[in-house]
Amino acid sequence: MSEGAPISAATFGRQIVNKFPGVECIPKEDGILECIVPADKIRDVVGMIDEEIHDAFPESVFGVDLQEDKYELIYIFWSRTNRTQYHLRVSLEGSNPEVETVCDIFPGMEWHERETHEMFGIGFKGHPDLRLLLLPEELEGKFPLRKSFVTDRARLEEADRTPPKPNATEGGASE
Amino acid sequence: MSPDILDETTEVWFGPQHVSAHGWAAKLTLVGDYVVECDPNAGYFHRSAEKCLEFRNFRQGSLIMERLCMLEAFLAEYPYIQAVEKIAELEVPERAKVMRTIMMEASRIHSLQFWWGQFSAELGLFAMLLWPWVDREFFLDTFEELSGSRHAVSYSTPGGVKYDFNDKVLKKLDIALERFEDRMPMMRDMLMGSPTFRARTEGIGQYTLKQGLKFGLSGPPIKACGLPMDLRKDAPDPNLAYDMIDWEVPVTESKEHPGESDAYDRMVQRFKEMETSVEIIRKLLPLVPEGPIIDSKARAKANRLPEGEAYGRVEGTRGISTLWLKTTDKAQTPYRAKIRGPCFNSYYSLKHLVPGAKFADFIVVFGSLDPYPGWWDR
Protein backbone atom coordinates (compact mmCIF):
# COMPACT_ATOMS: atom_id res chain seq x y z
CA MET A 1 0.00 0.00 0.00
CA SER A 2 2.59 2.53 -1.03
CA GLU A 3 0.47 4.17 -3.74
CA GLY A 4 -0.29 7.85 -3.56
CA ALA A 5 1.79 10.84 -2.52
CA PRO A 6 0.80 12.59 0.70
CA ILE A 7 -2.01 15.14 0.37
CA SER A 8 -1.77 18.08 2.74
CA ALA A 9 -4.70 18.90 5.00
CA ALA A 10 -5.31 22.24 3.25
CA THR A 11 -5.31 20.67 -0.23
CA PHE A 12 -7.69 17.91 0.75
CA GLY A 13 -9.92 20.47 2.47
CA ARG A 14 -10.14 22.45 -0.77
CA GLN A 15 -10.93 19.25 -2.72
CA ILE A 16 -13.83 18.49 -0.38
CA VAL A 17 -15.21 22.03 -0.57
CA ASN A 18 -14.94 22.06 -4.38
CA LYS A 19 -16.87 18.85 -4.65
CA PHE A 20 -19.42 19.52 -1.91
CA PRO A 21 -19.95 23.30 -1.57
CA GLY A 22 -22.03 23.03 1.61
CA VAL A 23 -19.05 21.75 3.58
CA GLU A 24 -16.67 24.02 5.45
CA CYS A 25 -13.06 22.89 6.01
CA ILE A 26 -10.60 24.48 8.43
CA PRO A 27 -7.02 23.16 8.66
CA LYS A 28 -5.79 23.41 12.28
CA GLU A 29 -2.51 22.92 14.11
CA ASP A 30 -1.36 19.41 15.11
CA GLY A 31 -2.26 18.13 11.63
CA ILE A 32 -6.01 18.28 12.11
CA LEU A 33 -8.43 19.05 9.30
CA GLU A 34 -11.75 20.07 10.77
CA CYS A 35 -14.75 19.81 8.46
CA ILE A 36 -18.19 21.11 9.31
CA VAL A 37 -20.50 18.86 7.38
CA PRO A 38 -24.28 19.22 6.89
CA ALA A 39 -26.06 16.07 8.10
CA ASP A 40 -27.18 15.05 4.61
CA LYS A 41 -23.63 15.27 3.19
CA ILE A 42 -21.88 12.98 5.69
CA ARG A 43 -22.02 9.87 3.52
CA ASP A 44 -20.57 11.83 0.59
CA VAL A 45 -17.65 13.18 2.59
CA VAL A 46 -16.86 9.84 4.26
CA GLY A 47 -17.12 8.17 0.85
CA MET A 48 -14.65 10.69 -0.54
CA ILE A 49 -12.21 9.99 2.32
CA ASP A 50 -12.52 6.29 1.53
CA GLU A 51 -11.82 6.84 -2.19
CA GLU A 52 -9.06 9.43 -1.99
CA ILE A 53 -7.12 8.27 1.07
CA HIS A 54 -5.92 4.74 0.66
CA ASP A 55 -4.91 4.22 4.29
CA ALA A 56 -7.87 5.97 5.95
CA PHE A 57 -8.30 4.56 9.43
CA PRO A 58 -11.69 4.98 11.16
CA GLU A 59 -10.81 6.05 14.68
CA SER A 60 -14.11 6.94 16.23
CA VAL A 61 -17.53 8.49 15.99
CA PHE A 62 -19.25 9.86 19.04
CA GLY A 63 -21.92 12.27 20.17
CA VAL A 64 -21.81 15.40 22.29
CA ASP A 65 -24.96 16.69 23.99
CA LEU A 66 -25.01 20.48 23.61
CA GLN A 67 -28.33 20.67 25.53
CA GLU A 68 -31.64 22.19 24.44
CA ASP A 69 -32.08 19.35 21.93
CA LYS A 70 -28.85 20.16 20.11
CA TYR A 71 -26.31 17.47 19.43
CA GLU A 72 -23.02 17.19 17.66
CA LEU A 73 -21.56 14.11 16.05
CA ILE A 74 -17.81 13.95 15.55
CA TYR A 75 -16.26 11.46 13.15
CA ILE A 76 -12.51 10.99 13.39
CA PHE A 77 -10.32 9.43 10.70
CA TRP A 78 -6.55 9.18 10.63
CA SER A 79 -4.26 8.87 7.67
CA ARG A 80 -0.68 7.81 8.29
CA THR A 81 0.51 8.79 4.80
CA ASN A 82 -0.89 12.31 5.14
CA ARG A 83 -0.13 12.57 8.87
CA THR A 84 -3.58 14.15 9.17
CA GLN A 85 -6.55 13.63 11.43
CA TYR A 86 -9.90 14.34 9.78
CA HIS A 87 -12.47 15.57 12.26
CA LEU A 88 -15.91 15.73 10.65
CA ARG A 89 -18.48 17.58 12.73
CA VAL A 90 -22.20 17.20 12.15
CA SER A 91 -24.76 19.31 14.02
CA LEU A 92 -28.11 17.72 14.75
CA GLU A 93 -31.29 19.09 16.29
CA GLY A 94 -34.58 17.80 17.66
CA SER A 95 -35.55 15.18 20.18
CA ASN A 96 -35.00 12.31 17.72
CA PRO A 97 -31.92 13.34 15.75
CA GLU A 98 -31.01 11.11 12.87
CA VAL A 99 -28.20 10.76 10.36
CA GLU A 100 -27.26 8.21 7.73
CA THR A 101 -24.91 5.39 8.68
CA VAL A 102 -21.38 5.14 7.29
CA CYS A 103 -20.71 1.63 8.58
CA ASP A 104 -21.08 0.06 5.15
CA ILE A 105 -18.17 2.24 3.99
CA PHE A 106 -16.08 1.67 7.13
CA PRO A 107 -17.21 -1.46 9.04
CA GLY A 108 -15.04 -0.29 11.95
CA MET A 109 -17.62 2.43 12.64
CA GLU A 110 -20.46 -0.05 13.17
CA TRP A 111 -20.09 -0.45 16.92
CA HIS A 112 -19.19 3.20 17.45
CA GLU A 113 -22.52 4.13 15.85
CA ARG A 114 -24.32 1.47 17.83
CA GLU A 115 -22.88 2.87 21.06
CA THR A 116 -23.76 6.46 20.11
CA HIS A 117 -27.30 5.28 19.39
CA GLU A 118 -27.83 3.73 22.81
CA MET A 119 -26.04 6.48 24.74
CA PHE A 120 -27.47 9.55 22.97
CA GLY A 121 -30.54 8.32 21.15
CA ILE A 122 -29.15 9.43 17.80
CA GLY A 123 -30.56 7.32 14.98
CA PHE A 124 -28.40 5.91 12.18
CA LYS A 125 -30.46 5.27 9.05
CA GLY A 126 -29.49 2.04 7.33
CA HIS A 127 -27.47 0.64 10.25
CA PRO A 128 -27.81 -3.16 10.24
CA ASP A 129 -27.83 -3.75 13.97
CA LEU A 130 -28.89 -1.13 16.52
CA ARG A 131 -29.43 -3.44 19.50
CA LEU A 132 -28.11 -2.31 22.87
CA LEU A 133 -24.37 -2.86 23.03
CA LEU A 134 -23.14 -1.98 26.51
CA LEU A 135 -26.32 -1.19 28.43
CA PRO A 136 -28.47 -3.82 30.13
CA GLU A 137 -31.98 -4.41 28.81
CA GLU A 138 -33.51 -3.67 32.22
CA LEU A 139 -32.09 -0.15 32.54
CA GLU A 140 -34.88 2.33 33.04
CA GLY A 141 -34.63 5.80 31.66
CA LYS A 142 -32.95 6.44 28.39
CA PHE A 143 -29.79 7.75 26.85
CA PRO A 144 -27.33 7.82 29.76
CA LEU A 145 -24.85 10.21 28.18
CA ARG A 146 -27.41 12.93 27.57
CA LYS A 147 -27.05 15.70 30.11
CA SER A 148 -30.69 15.31 31.15
CA PHE A 149 -30.11 11.76 32.39
CA VAL A 150 -30.42 11.63 36.17
CA THR A 151 -27.48 9.98 37.84
CA ASP A 152 -28.36 9.72 41.44
CA ARG A 153 -28.66 7.20 44.19
CA ALA A 154 -32.42 7.79 43.88
CA ARG A 155 -32.31 5.93 40.59
CA LEU A 156 -31.68 2.69 42.43
CA GLU A 157 -35.23 2.64 43.76
CA GLU A 158 -36.64 3.88 40.50
CA ALA A 159 -35.03 0.94 38.71
CA ASP A 160 -36.33 -1.45 41.38
CA ARG A 161 -32.89 -2.15 42.77
CA THR A 162 -32.14 -2.62 46.45
CA PRO A 163 -30.47 0.47 47.84
CA PRO A 164 -27.15 -0.23 49.58
CA LYS A 165 -27.50 -1.16 53.25
CA PRO A 166 -26.66 1.66 55.61
CA ASN A 167 -23.44 1.25 57.55
CA ALA A 168 -23.79 -0.63 60.82
CA THR A 169 -24.02 1.76 63.75
CA GLU A 170 -23.12 -0.76 66.39
CA GLY A 171 -21.15 -3.96 66.41
CA GLY A 172 -22.88 -7.28 66.60
CA ALA A 173 -22.08 -10.96 66.78
CA SER A 174 -21.28 -12.54 63.46
CA GLU A 175 -23.72 -15.16 62.25
CA MET B 1 -15.10 -23.14 3.36
CA SER B 2 -18.38 -23.95 5.06
CA PRO B 3 -19.65 -27.41 4.16
CA ASP B 4 -22.98 -27.42 2.35
CA ILE B 5 -23.96 -30.97 3.21
CA LEU B 6 -24.78 -29.97 6.76
CA ASP B 7 -27.72 -27.65 7.04
CA GLU B 8 -28.43 -27.97 10.75
CA THR B 9 -27.03 -25.15 12.79
CA THR B 10 -26.14 -25.13 16.49
CA GLU B 11 -25.84 -22.04 18.62
CA VAL B 12 -23.10 -22.02 21.23
CA TRP B 13 -22.40 -19.27 23.74
CA PHE B 14 -18.67 -18.92 24.20
CA GLY B 15 -18.44 -17.24 27.59
CA PRO B 16 -18.98 -15.47 29.88
CA GLN B 17 -18.26 -18.40 32.20
CA HIS B 18 -15.63 -20.01 29.98
CA VAL B 19 -12.17 -19.76 31.51
CA SER B 20 -10.75 -17.90 28.52
CA ALA B 21 -13.75 -15.58 28.34
CA HIS B 22 -13.15 -13.38 31.35
CA GLY B 23 -16.04 -10.99 31.12
CA TRP B 24 -17.20 -11.32 27.54
CA ALA B 25 -19.30 -13.70 25.53
CA ALA B 26 -19.75 -14.41 21.85
CA LYS B 27 -22.65 -16.26 20.33
CA LEU B 28 -21.35 -18.66 17.72
CA THR B 29 -23.54 -20.35 15.13
CA LEU B 30 -22.00 -23.65 14.10
CA VAL B 31 -22.52 -25.95 11.17
CA GLY B 32 -20.69 -29.13 12.01
CA ASP B 33 -17.32 -27.99 13.29
CA TYR B 34 -17.34 -24.67 11.42
CA VAL B 35 -18.43 -21.29 12.70
CA VAL B 36 -20.75 -19.62 10.22
CA GLU B 37 -21.75 -16.63 12.31
CA CYS B 38 -20.17 -14.85 15.24
CA ASP B 39 -21.97 -12.28 17.35
CA PRO B 40 -19.63 -10.79 19.96
CA ASN B 41 -21.48 -9.42 22.98
CA ALA B 42 -20.17 -6.58 25.10
CA GLY B 43 -21.25 -4.86 28.26
CA TYR B 44 -20.45 -7.31 31.05
CA PHE B 45 -18.01 -4.83 32.63
CA HIS B 46 -19.71 -1.62 31.61
CA ARG B 47 -19.33 0.97 34.40
CA SER B 48 -20.06 4.06 32.31
CA ALA B 49 -16.54 5.43 32.57
CA GLU B 50 -17.34 8.33 30.25
CA LYS B 51 -20.16 9.53 32.50
CA CYS B 52 -17.97 9.01 35.58
CA LEU B 53 -15.32 11.22 34.02
CA GLU B 54 -17.86 14.05 33.84
CA PHE B 55 -18.02 13.97 37.63
CA ARG B 56 -14.28 13.81 38.36
CA ASN B 57 -11.86 16.72 38.30
CA PHE B 58 -8.90 16.84 35.96
CA ARG B 59 -6.46 15.25 38.37
CA GLN B 60 -8.85 12.42 39.28
CA GLY B 61 -9.79 11.54 35.70
CA SER B 62 -6.64 9.60 34.94
CA LEU B 63 -7.44 7.23 37.81
CA ILE B 64 -10.54 6.08 35.97
CA MET B 65 -8.60 5.80 32.72
CA GLU B 66 -5.91 3.51 34.07
CA ARG B 67 -8.55 1.16 35.44
CA LEU B 68 -9.82 0.52 31.93
CA CYS B 69 -6.72 -1.51 31.22
CA MET B 70 -4.72 -2.38 34.29
CA LEU B 71 -2.14 -4.23 32.23
CA GLU B 72 -0.97 -1.11 30.46
CA ALA B 73 -1.89 1.40 33.16
CA PHE B 74 0.93 3.82 32.30
CA LEU B 75 -0.29 3.95 28.71
CA ALA B 76 -4.02 3.83 29.39
CA GLU B 77 -4.03 6.93 31.58
CA TYR B 78 -1.98 8.97 29.15
CA PRO B 79 -4.57 10.14 26.54
CA TYR B 80 -6.47 11.91 29.31
CA ILE B 81 -3.32 13.57 30.64
CA GLN B 82 -2.33 14.63 27.14
CA ALA B 83 -5.73 16.20 26.47
CA VAL B 84 -5.69 18.10 29.80
CA GLU B 85 -2.16 19.31 29.15
CA LYS B 86 -3.18 20.60 25.73
CA ILE B 87 -6.15 22.58 27.03
CA ALA B 88 -4.35 23.92 30.12
CA GLU B 89 -1.18 24.60 28.05
CA LEU B 90 1.04 23.00 30.67
CA GLU B 91 4.79 22.70 30.27
CA VAL B 92 6.22 19.33 31.22
CA PRO B 93 9.78 19.24 32.64
CA GLU B 94 12.33 17.30 30.60
CA ARG B 95 12.94 14.80 33.39
CA ALA B 96 9.26 13.92 33.58
CA LYS B 97 9.06 13.44 29.80
CA VAL B 98 11.82 10.85 29.79
CA MET B 99 10.59 9.09 32.91
CA ARG B 100 7.07 8.82 31.52
CA THR B 101 8.33 7.31 28.31
CA ILE B 102 10.49 4.77 30.12
CA MET B 103 7.64 3.62 32.32
CA MET B 104 5.22 3.47 29.40
CA GLU B 105 7.55 1.13 27.57
CA ALA B 106 8.05 -0.99 30.70
CA SER B 107 4.29 -1.20 30.93
CA ARG B 108 4.13 -2.34 27.32
CA ILE B 109 6.58 -5.18 27.94
CA HIS B 110 4.68 -6.27 31.02
CA SER B 111 1.37 -6.20 29.20
CA LEU B 112 2.74 -8.24 26.32
CA GLN B 113 4.24 -10.79 28.71
CA PHE B 114 0.80 -11.22 30.22
CA TRP B 115 -0.76 -11.65 26.80
CA TRP B 116 1.94 -14.08 25.69
CA GLY B 117 1.31 -16.35 28.68
CA GLN B 118 -2.40 -16.16 28.32
CA PHE B 119 -2.43 -16.78 24.58
CA SER B 120 -0.25 -19.85 25.06
CA ALA B 121 -2.63 -21.15 27.71
CA GLU B 122 -5.58 -20.57 25.40
CA LEU B 123 -3.83 -22.83 22.91
CA GLY B 124 -3.37 -25.47 25.61
CA LEU B 125 0.36 -24.84 26.17
CA PHE B 126 0.17 -24.39 29.91
CA ALA B 127 3.91 -24.45 30.61
CA MET B 128 4.19 -21.23 28.63
CA LEU B 129 1.54 -19.60 30.83
CA LEU B 130 3.65 -19.30 33.92
CA TRP B 131 7.14 -18.66 32.57
CA PRO B 132 6.46 -15.20 31.15
CA TRP B 133 4.25 -14.44 34.13
CA VAL B 134 7.13 -15.13 36.50
CA ASP B 135 9.30 -12.65 34.58
CA ARG B 136 6.42 -10.18 34.58
CA GLU B 137 6.53 -10.10 38.38
CA PHE B 138 9.86 -8.27 38.19
CA PHE B 139 8.25 -5.43 36.27
CA LEU B 140 5.41 -5.34 38.79
CA ASP B 141 8.02 -5.10 41.56
CA THR B 142 9.45 -2.07 39.78
CA PHE B 143 6.02 -0.45 39.56
CA GLU B 144 5.41 -1.17 43.22
CA GLU B 145 8.74 0.35 44.24
CA LEU B 146 7.99 3.41 42.12
CA SER B 147 4.37 4.12 42.98
CA GLY B 148 3.41 1.82 45.81
CA SER B 149 0.99 -0.09 43.63
CA ARG B 150 1.49 -3.03 41.32
CA HIS B 151 -1.26 -2.20 38.84
CA ALA B 152 -3.11 1.03 39.60
CA VAL B 153 0.02 3.14 39.37
CA SER B 154 -1.46 6.60 38.59
CA TYR B 155 1.96 7.80 37.55
CA SER B 156 1.47 10.62 35.07
CA THR B 157 -0.40 13.68 36.22
CA PRO B 158 -1.14 16.89 34.29
CA GLY B 159 2.18 18.75 34.11
CA GLY B 160 4.54 15.94 35.02
CA VAL B 161 4.74 12.73 37.00
CA LYS B 162 3.93 11.94 40.61
CA TYR B 163 6.88 9.82 41.73
CA ASP B 164 10.57 10.28 41.15
CA PHE B 165 13.04 7.57 40.18
CA ASN B 166 15.45 6.45 42.86
CA ASP B 167 18.27 3.91 43.01
CA LYS B 168 15.97 1.11 44.14
CA VAL B 169 13.56 1.65 41.25
CA LEU B 170 16.37 1.74 38.70
CA LYS B 171 17.93 -1.40 40.20
CA LYS B 172 14.62 -3.28 40.04
CA LEU B 173 13.98 -2.10 36.49
CA ASP B 174 17.44 -3.28 35.51
CA ILE B 175 16.85 -6.71 37.07
CA ALA B 176 13.52 -7.00 35.22
CA LEU B 177 15.08 -6.03 31.89
CA GLU B 178 18.08 -8.31 32.32
CA ARG B 179 15.89 -11.25 33.23
CA PHE B 180 13.70 -10.53 30.22
CA GLU B 181 16.64 -10.28 27.81
CA ASP B 182 18.15 -13.40 29.27
CA ARG B 183 15.10 -15.64 29.10
CA MET B 184 12.85 -14.26 26.35
CA PRO B 185 14.78 -15.55 23.27
CA MET B 186 14.94 -19.06 24.69
CA MET B 187 11.24 -19.16 25.52
CA ARG B 188 10.27 -17.54 22.23
CA ASP B 189 12.16 -20.13 20.20
CA MET B 190 10.71 -22.91 22.30
CA LEU B 191 7.18 -21.66 21.67
CA MET B 192 7.44 -20.55 18.07
CA GLY B 193 9.43 -23.60 17.04
CA SER B 194 6.85 -25.94 18.48
CA PRO B 195 4.98 -27.81 15.69
CA THR B 196 1.77 -27.68 17.76
CA PHE B 197 1.97 -23.92 17.98
CA ARG B 198 2.61 -23.49 14.27
CA ALA B 199 -0.21 -25.83 13.34
CA ARG B 200 -2.66 -23.95 15.55
CA THR B 201 -1.76 -20.43 14.42
CA GLU B 202 -0.64 -20.48 10.77
CA GLY B 203 -3.30 -19.25 8.38
CA ILE B 204 -5.76 -18.59 11.21
CA GLY B 205 -7.59 -15.28 11.43
CA GLN B 206 -5.98 -14.01 8.24
CA TYR B 207 -6.86 -10.60 6.84
CA THR B 208 -5.36 -8.10 4.42
CA LEU B 209 -3.97 -4.73 5.43
CA LYS B 210 -6.90 -2.91 3.81
CA GLN B 211 -9.43 -5.06 5.68
CA GLY B 212 -7.59 -4.51 8.95
CA LEU B 213 -7.67 -0.74 8.48
CA LYS B 214 -11.36 -0.78 7.59
CA PHE B 215 -12.20 -2.78 10.71
CA GLY B 216 -10.37 -0.09 12.70
CA LEU B 217 -7.57 -2.39 13.85
CA SER B 218 -4.36 -0.68 14.93
CA GLY B 219 -1.12 -1.47 16.69
CA PRO B 220 0.45 -4.94 16.31
CA PRO B 221 -2.43 -6.40 14.21
CA ILE B 222 -1.71 -3.75 11.55
CA LYS B 223 2.07 -3.74 11.90
CA ALA B 224 1.99 -7.51 11.34
CA CYS B 225 0.63 -6.74 7.84
CA GLY B 226 3.79 -4.78 7.07
CA LEU B 227 2.59 -1.19 7.59
CA PRO B 228 4.64 0.67 10.23
CA MET B 229 1.62 2.61 11.54
CA ASP B 230 2.77 3.72 14.96
CA LEU B 231 1.85 6.98 16.68
CA ARG B 232 5.13 7.00 18.59
CA LYS B 233 6.82 7.74 15.24
CA ASP B 234 4.01 9.18 13.10
CA ALA B 235 2.70 11.77 15.54
CA PRO B 236 5.41 12.24 18.16
CA ASP B 237 4.07 13.85 21.30
CA PRO B 238 6.13 16.85 22.50
CA ASN B 239 5.56 15.73 26.09
CA LEU B 240 7.13 12.31 25.54
CA ALA B 241 10.70 11.45 24.68
CA TYR B 242 10.40 9.13 21.66
CA ASP B 243 12.07 11.66 19.36
CA MET B 244 15.14 11.97 21.61
CA ILE B 245 16.51 8.63 20.48
CA ASP B 246 17.00 6.67 17.32
CA TRP B 247 14.75 3.64 16.93
CA GLU B 248 12.78 1.83 14.27
CA VAL B 249 9.14 0.77 14.25
CA PRO B 250 9.14 -3.04 14.02
CA VAL B 251 7.02 -4.62 11.29
CA THR B 252 6.42 -8.19 10.22
CA GLU B 253 6.27 -9.00 6.53
CA SER B 254 5.19 -12.56 5.91
CA LYS B 255 6.88 -14.40 3.03
CA GLU B 256 3.92 -16.71 2.34
CA HIS B 257 1.24 -14.01 2.26
CA PRO B 258 2.75 -10.51 1.91
CA GLY B 259 0.44 -7.68 2.95
CA GLU B 260 -1.65 -10.00 5.11
CA SER B 261 -1.32 -11.25 8.63
CA ASP B 262 -2.36 -14.40 10.44
CA ALA B 263 -2.20 -15.33 14.12
CA TYR B 264 1.41 -16.48 13.74
CA ASP B 265 2.55 -13.15 12.25
CA ARG B 266 0.90 -11.24 15.06
CA MET B 267 2.75 -13.39 17.59
CA VAL B 268 6.05 -12.65 15.80
CA GLN B 269 5.16 -8.96 15.74
CA ARG B 270 4.55 -8.79 19.47
CA PHE B 271 7.90 -10.38 20.27
CA LYS B 272 9.48 -7.68 18.10
CA GLU B 273 7.49 -5.04 19.99
CA MET B 274 8.94 -6.25 23.27
CA GLU B 275 12.48 -6.13 21.91
CA THR B 276 11.90 -2.60 20.63
CA SER B 277 10.57 -1.50 24.01
CA VAL B 278 13.67 -2.86 25.74
CA GLU B 279 15.82 -1.01 23.21
CA ILE B 280 13.94 2.26 23.84
CA ILE B 281 14.27 1.92 27.62
CA ARG B 282 17.97 1.04 27.42
CA LYS B 283 18.64 4.08 25.21
CA LEU B 284 16.58 6.46 27.33
CA LEU B 285 17.88 5.46 30.76
CA PRO B 286 21.23 7.31 30.43
CA LEU B 287 19.37 10.37 29.09
CA VAL B 288 17.24 11.04 32.19
CA PRO B 289 18.17 14.65 32.97
CA GLU B 290 18.29 16.21 36.42
CA GLY B 291 15.56 18.62 37.42
CA PRO B 292 12.04 18.82 38.75
CA ILE B 293 9.48 16.13 37.93
CA ILE B 294 6.48 18.43 37.80
CA ASP B 295 5.76 22.01 36.89
CA SER B 296 5.21 23.72 40.25
CA LYS B 297 2.18 25.62 38.98
CA ALA B 298 0.61 22.60 37.28
CA ARG B 299 -1.61 21.68 40.22
CA ALA B 300 -3.18 25.10 40.32
CA LYS B 301 -3.49 25.33 36.54
CA ALA B 302 -5.23 21.95 36.27
CA ASN B 303 -7.78 22.92 38.91
CA ARG B 304 -9.95 24.86 36.52
CA LEU B 305 -9.48 24.65 32.79
CA PRO B 306 -10.43 27.25 30.17
CA GLU B 307 -13.01 26.45 27.54
CA GLY B 308 -11.56 24.17 24.93
CA GLU B 309 -11.39 20.89 23.11
CA ALA B 310 -8.47 18.54 22.84
CA TYR B 311 -7.78 15.11 21.48
CA GLY B 312 -5.25 12.94 23.29
CA ARG B 313 -3.84 9.88 21.53
CA VAL B 314 -1.28 7.31 22.45
CA GLU B 315 0.07 4.17 20.81
CA GLY B 316 -0.93 1.60 23.37
CA THR B 317 0.10 -2.03 23.54
CA ARG B 318 -3.05 -3.06 21.71
CA GLY B 319 -3.34 -0.13 19.31
CA ILE B 320 -4.39 3.49 19.24
CA SER B 321 -6.11 4.64 22.44
CA THR B 322 -7.59 8.09 22.41
CA LEU B 323 -9.57 10.50 24.52
CA TRP B 324 -11.55 13.45 23.24
CA LEU B 325 -12.10 16.12 25.89
CA LYS B 326 -14.40 19.12 25.88
CA THR B 327 -14.37 21.65 28.69
CA THR B 328 -16.45 24.70 29.47
CA ASP B 329 -14.92 27.88 30.86
CA LYS B 330 -13.58 27.62 34.43
CA ALA B 331 -15.05 24.16 34.79
CA GLN B 332 -13.63 21.75 37.33
CA THR B 333 -14.82 18.68 35.45
CA PRO B 334 -15.00 17.78 31.75
CA TYR B 335 -18.13 18.58 29.79
CA ARG B 336 -17.66 15.49 27.67
CA ALA B 337 -14.96 12.87 27.55
CA LYS B 338 -15.00 10.18 24.89
CA ILE B 339 -12.72 7.19 25.26
CA ARG B 340 -11.69 5.14 22.26
CA GLY B 341 -10.23 1.81 23.30
CA PRO B 342 -8.32 -0.09 20.63
CA CYS B 343 -9.99 -3.37 21.63
CA PHE B 344 -13.45 -1.97 20.90
CA ASN B 345 -12.62 -2.47 17.24
CA SER B 346 -10.59 -5.65 17.55
CA TYR B 347 -13.41 -7.32 19.46
CA TYR B 348 -15.92 -6.08 16.90
CA SER B 349 -13.83 -7.43 14.02
CA LEU B 350 -14.36 -11.01 15.28
CA LYS B 351 -17.74 -10.72 13.60
CA HIS B 352 -15.94 -10.68 10.25
CA LEU B 353 -12.82 -12.71 11.00
CA VAL B 354 -14.31 -15.76 12.71
CA PRO B 355 -16.93 -17.04 10.21
CA GLY B 356 -15.38 -19.82 8.18
CA ALA B 357 -12.99 -20.85 10.92
CA LYS B 358 -13.26 -24.06 12.90
CA PHE B 359 -14.80 -23.85 16.35
CA ALA B 360 -11.48 -24.70 18.01
CA ASP B 361 -9.80 -21.83 16.14
CA PHE B 362 -12.18 -19.21 17.47
CA ILE B 363 -10.10 -18.64 20.58
CA VAL B 364 -6.93 -18.42 18.46
CA VAL B 365 -8.42 -15.59 16.38
CA PHE B 366 -9.63 -13.89 19.54
CA GLY B 367 -6.34 -14.27 21.42
CA SER B 368 -4.20 -13.19 18.49
CA LEU B 369 -5.88 -9.76 18.53
CA ASP B 370 -5.05 -9.35 22.25
CA PRO B 371 -8.38 -7.84 23.30
CA TYR B 372 -8.91 -6.64 26.85
CA PRO B 373 -12.57 -6.32 27.98
CA GLY B 374 -11.99 -3.09 29.91
CA TRP B 375 -11.21 -1.29 26.68
CA TRP B 376 -14.53 -2.03 25.03
CA ASP B 377 -16.83 -2.02 28.04
CA ARG B 378 -15.44 1.08 29.73
Model confidence at B378, pLDDT cuts 50, 70, 90, reads confident
Closest CA in chain B for residue A104: B214
B345 — contact with chain A (CB < 8 Å)? yes
Which pLDDT does position B291 carry in this prediction? 86
B326 — contact with chain A (CB < 8 Å)? yes
Residues of A near B (Cβ–Cβ under 8 Å) read: 1, 31-32, 55-60, 62, 64-65, 74, 76, 78, 80, 83, 85, 87, 106-112, 119, 132-136, 144-145, 149, 151
Q: Which chain A residues are within 8 Å of B314, Cβ to Cβ?
A: none
Nearest to B216 among A74, A87, A108 (CB): A108
Q: Which of B16, B117, B340, B94 is nearest to A75 (CA)?
A: B340
Which pLDDT does position B6 carry in this prediction? 58
- B324 has pLDDT over 90: yes
Nearest to B215 among A31, A108, A136 (CB): A108
Q: State residue B349 phi and psi, 5-degree precision.
A: -65, -15
Which pLDDT does position A151 carry in this prediction? 66
Which pLDDT does position B104 carry in this prediction? 92
Q: What torsion, rounded to 10 degrees, do the Cα atoms B113, B118, B124, B125 define?
A: 20
B48 to A144: CB separation less than 8 angstroms, yes or no: yes
Beta strands in chain B (DSSP E): 9-14, 25-31, 34-41, 156-157, 160-161, 207-208, 260-261, 308-315, 320-327, 336-340
Burial-class residue B205 by CB neighbours within 10 Å (0-12, 13-18, 19+).
buried
Which pLDDT does position B281 carry in this prediction? 93
Nearest to B320 among A56, A59, A64 (CB): A59
Closest CA in chain A for residue B374: A134
- B295 has pLDDT over 60: yes
Closest CA in chain B for residue A28: B310
Q: State residue B156 phi and psi, 5-degree precision.
A: -75, 145
pLDDT tens digits for B59-99? 888 888 988 888 888 999 999 999 999 998 888 999 999 99
The nearest CA of chain A is from the CA of B310 a distance in Å of 11
Distance CA B116, CA B177 (A): 17
Which pLDDT does position A174 carry in this prediction? 46
Ordered by start, the domain boundaries in chain A are: 9-134
DSSP readout, B38-58? EEEE--TT---HHHHHTTS-T
- Mean pLDDT over all residues of chain B? 88
Please give the average per-residue pLDDT across B368-374, as a whole number.
87
Which pLDDT does position B126 carry in this prediction? 81
Percent of chain B with pLDDT over 90: 35
Model confidence at A145, pLDDT cuts 50, 70, 90, reads confident
Q: Which chain A residues are within 8 Å of B50, Cβ to Cβ?
A: 119, 145
- A10 has pLDDT over 90: no
DSSP readout, A38-68? -GGGHHHHHHHHHHH-TTEEEEEEEEEE-ST
Which pLDDT does position B122 carry in this prediction? 84
Please give the average per-residue pLDDT across B157-166, as a whole number.
89
B50 — contact with chain A (CB < 8 Å)? yes
ipTM of model = 0.87
- A168 has pLDDT over 70: no
A9-134 carries CATH number 3.40.50.300:
no
Which pLDDT does position A175 carry in this prediction? 43
Please give the average per-residue pLDDT across A90-105, as a whole number.
89
Q: Which chain B residues are within 8 Å of A58, Cβ to Cβ?
A: 214, 216
* Cβ-proximal residues to A152 (8 Å cutoff; 6+ apart), any chain: none
Asked if residue B267 lies in contact with residue B220, where contact means CB atoms within 8 angstroms, the answer is no
- pLDDT higher for A164 or B91? B91
B160 strand-pairing partners? B157, B294
Model confidence at B314, pLDDT cuts 50, 70, 90, reads very high
Topology of domain B48-342 in CATH is: Cytochrome-c3 Hydrogenase; chain B (1.10.645)
Q: What torsion, rounded to 10 degrees, do the Cα atoms B25, B29, B33, B34 define?
A: -100
Closest CA in chain A for residue B229: A80
The nearest CA of chain A is from the CA of B143 a distance in Å of 31
Q: State residue A105 phi and psi, 5-degree precision.
A: -80, -50
Q: State residue A71 phi and psi, 5-degree precision.
A: -135, 160
Distance CA B5, CA B32 (A): 10
- B323 has pLDDT over 90: yes
Asked if residue B53 lies in contact with residue B334, where contact means CB atoms within 8 angstroms, the answer is yes
Q: Which chain A residues are within 8 Å of B320, Cβ to Cβ?
A: 57, 59, 78
Q: Which chain A residues are within 8 Å of B46, Cβ to Cβ?
A: 134-135
- A56 has pLDDT over 80: yes
Q: Which chain B residues are within 8 Å of A106, Cβ to Cβ?
A: 214, 216
Which pLDDT does position A3 carry in this prediction? 60
**How many Cβ pairs closer than 8 A exist between chain A and B?**
83
